[in-house]
């Protein structure tokens, strides 16, 4: 069955870095775009980044401002999110998700994603 498993979260000081991984199984990753989303307590889930099935198209939330980089390694069935210069407001549960429909572009519309991981907690605090 389709599975996405996030890892790499944790506690980091402001200004620090983390690399999140999204390990996928049960489907051919190279046919699908993948997105990263986050949800903080009391807030709606928001798009962090997405990458198209080929990797040629990538997008980021406005709040990222050059701090995060998304990448994919189809041979390893894994998508990564490198997060640098983390801020306390980045604290949230981070989820990866598969974009439905084998589309070629990249969009961070929550309703367009059909399978989700369980999430990994990222806490930025001194």
Q: What is residue 115's predicted lDDT score, i.e. its pLDDT? A: 98
Question: Tokens in use for 111?
Answer: 């309703």
Question: What confidence tier does 101 reach under pLDDT thresholds 50, 70, 90?
Answer: confident
Question: What confidence tier does 113 reach under pLDDT thresholds 50, 70, 90?
Answer: very high
Min mean pLDDT across 76-85, 96-105, 113-122 is at 96-105
């Amino acid at each position: 069955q389709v599975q996405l498993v996030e890892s790499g979260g944790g506690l980091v000081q402001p200004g620090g870095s983390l690399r999140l991984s999204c390990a996928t199984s049960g489907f051919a990753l190279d046919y699908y775009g993948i997105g990263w989303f986050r949800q903080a307590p009391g807030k709606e889930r928001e798009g962090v980044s997405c990458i198209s099935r080929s990797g040629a198209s990538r997008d980021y939330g406005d709040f990222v401002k050059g701090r995060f980089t998304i990448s994919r390694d189809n041979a390893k069935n894994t998508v990564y999110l490198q997060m640098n210069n983390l801020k306390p407001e980045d604290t949230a549960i981070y989820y990866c998700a598969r974009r439905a429909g084998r589309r070629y572009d990249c969009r961070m519309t929550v309703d367009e994603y059909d399978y989700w991981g369980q999430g990994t907690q990222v806490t930025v605090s001194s």
